[in-house]
Structures are given as structure tokens and as C-alpha cells.
Amino acid sequence: MTATAYIAIGANLGDAQAAVREAIAALDAIPGTRVAARSSLYRTAPVDAQGPDFINAVVAVETALAPLALLEQLQRIEQAAGRERPYRNAPRTLDLDLLSHGAAQMATPALTLPHPRMNERAFVLVPLAEIAPHRVSPALLAQVAGQPIQRL
């Protein structure tokens, strides 16, 4: 059995556009997982963070991996991209957030599904609406309309 999972991608250090594109390729290379859809790239100012603007995207993957196993693979890709976590919301070479995994609902110290803050962020909702409009209501988009986001 496979599940459709949605993953938010962001980077704001180094060549962020290249980092996001390389992350999409790395996601497609995870065993038992394939990228089914990918959004455009977007530029956004940091939210609850500092540093340069972010490059963001969202992908849909079809995966045979369970949520925690997929999370482990996402963290492996982040580490390979040089991700460091010196403090909360630090600038980053790559950030991969598992937004949802099929109908899974969970709250563990390692993972909460669906992602608890995804509906508060234009940098998640706008690219998600591009690839999965059925997942994002007009009301949710209206709530984040004041957050600047630029499609590249």
C-alpha cells in the first residue's frame, strides 16, 4: 500500500534554488517513494526566523514508507545538504517538513500530523494549493493573504 504525502521544502542559505531542486530529486530517489507532483518555486520572507528570503516549494509523493520512516529519510536528506540546528528557526541550507501522510493523524515528540502550523503559512498553502487545490480552501488562503509570497 502507498500513501500520498505532502512535503514542504525551504532553504535560505547558499544557492537556495539549487538546494530545493536537489531536494526534490533526492525525495524522488527514496526507496518506495516517488514524486507525483511539484509546485513552482516561491520566494518568501522568513516567518518567525531571521536571515535571507526563503525559496519554498511543496511536493506530493506516493510512498510505501510509514510516516516516521519517511521523516527519517527527510532528515537524512537535510543532513546531506548540510542542515544545522544551532537554534530554533535558524537560517537553513534545507528544511523538509512532512505536512501530511495519507489520513494519518499522530502527535509524538518526533512528528505531528497533519503539520500543526501548515494552515498559518502562505509559503506552505500557496504552493500546496498549486498542486493539490482540493487540500486548501479559499478561506485558508484568505487567512494568509497578507503574507508576501512571490512565484518565481
Domain 3-151 has CATH 3.30.70.560: yes
Look at residue 55 and tell me whether its pLDDT is greater than 60: yes
Instruction: Give yes or no for a contact between 33 and 59, defined as CB atoms under 8 angstroms apart.
Output: no
Q: Is-catalytic flag, 83? A: yes
Dist. CA 109–CA 114, nearest whole Å: 14
pLDDT of residue 118: 96
Please pick, among 43, 95, 121, 135, the residue that the annotation labels catalytic: 95
pLDDT of residue 32: 97
Q: Is-catalytic flag, 34? A: no
pLDDT of residue 38: 98
16-28 vs 67-80: helix axis angle to the nearest 10? 140
110-116 mean pLDDT: 96
Q: Across the chain, what does the average pLDDT equal?
A: 93
Q: Is-catalytic flag, 151? A: no
Please pick, among 38, 92, 121, 135, the residue that the annotation labels catalytic: 92
Q: pLDDT band for position 48 (50/70/90)?
A: confident
Q: Is-catalytic flag, 121? A: no
Please give the model's pTM, rounded to 2 decimal places. Answer: 0.94
Q: Would you list the domain boundaries of the chain?
A: 3-151
Please pick, among 97, 117, 121, 135, the residue that the annotation labels catalytic: 97
Please pick, among 38, 43, 83, 135, the residue that the annotation labels catalytic: 83
Least confident of 39-48, 112-121, 140-149: 39-48
Q: Is the dihedral of CA 35, 36, 40, 46 positive or negative?
A: negative
